[in-house]
Structure 1
Amino acid sequence: METFFKIFAIVFTLLFGYAIVVQFNDPDALKWILIYLAAAVASILFILKKLKSSIYFLLTIFFLVLFFMYWPETYEGVQLDHGMKTVNIEEGRESLGSLIAAIVMLVYGLRTRFLNKSKV
């Protein structure tokens, strides 16, 4: 099971890294680069077992707040063939990216909490 979570974290480290790269053409690139960088660093620290579960739970809350803050007034989808034609498409993508990060941080937090409880 340990191998599964390491692979899971490596995959999401790479995905968050990819998300950083594709932000460079975004109007608010720096903000989203830093947000995805936080998720990528948290993923690396999960692999290294350097953070407490409470930090992952705080990151989960942070990303959930972003999810709700950026949810568009009118959801128009996130299709890649539509590009960034509307603010709603951009906000939809940003919002769903935040939700994915929140779910990943929750998985890290629960796994870290489970491992710490089993050692006692």
Structure 2
Amino acid sequence: MKLFAKIFASVFAVLFIWAGILQYNDPDSLLWYVIYGSSALASLIFIFDKLRLSIAVLLSFLYLIGSYIFWPEHYEGISLNGGDIYKIEHARESLGLLINAMVMFFYSWRIRFSRKA
């Protein structure tokens, strides 16, 4: 399980870096650089078994709250099929934050139960 967790964290570190890079043309790109950068950094720290449980839990809750805040009033999907671009963008951002939250929750769970073993 430990090897799986390290591979999982390595994959998500790369994915978070890539997601941050893709934000270069976003109007609020600095915000997303910080969000995806902190997730990538947390993933790298997790790989070296230095991520603290409190940090992983805090990030998980912050991302969950952010996902709730960004969720559009009326969900129109995530593909550009003639819907309102702002609602679609907010749905994408919300789902991205939800993915971050789930990954940080996994790290929290793994840290918590690796201490018992």
Q: Is TM (by shorter chain) over 0.5? A: yes
- For residues 11 and 78 of structure 1, the distance between their equivalents in structure 2, rounded to whole angstroms, comes to 23
Q: Deviations over 1:3-60 (max 9, x none)?
A: 1111100110011011001100111000011111010000000001112212111110
The aligned residue for residue 32 of structure 1 is 32
Structure 1: which 5+ runs fail to align? none
Q: Any conservation in 1 of the 2:77–2:88 contact (CA below 8 Å)?
A: yes
Matched letter for residue 107 of structure 1:
F
Give structure 1 regions of 4+ aligned residues with deviation exceeding 2 angstroms: 81-85
TM norm structure 1:
0.92
Q: Any conservation in 2 of the 1:75–1:89 contact (CA below 8 Å)?
A: yes
Amino-acid identity (%): 48
- For residues 69 and 39 of structure 2, the distance between their equivalents in structure 1, rounded to whole angstroms, comes to 18
CA RMSD of aligned residues (A): 1.6
The aligned residue for residue 110 of structure 1 is 109
Structure 2: which 5+ runs fail to align? none
The aligned residue for residue 87 of structure 1 is 86
Q: What is the aligned length? A: 117
Q: Structure 1 pair 48/31, CA: closer, same or farther in 2 (3 Å)?
A: same
TM norm structure 2:
0.94
- For residues 75 and 58 of structure 1, the distance between their equivalents in structure 2, rounded to whole angstroms, comes to 27
Matched letter for residue 97 of structure 2:
S
Offset at residue 68 of structure 1 (A): 0.4
Task: Please state which structure has a larger fraction of its residues in helix.
Answer: 1
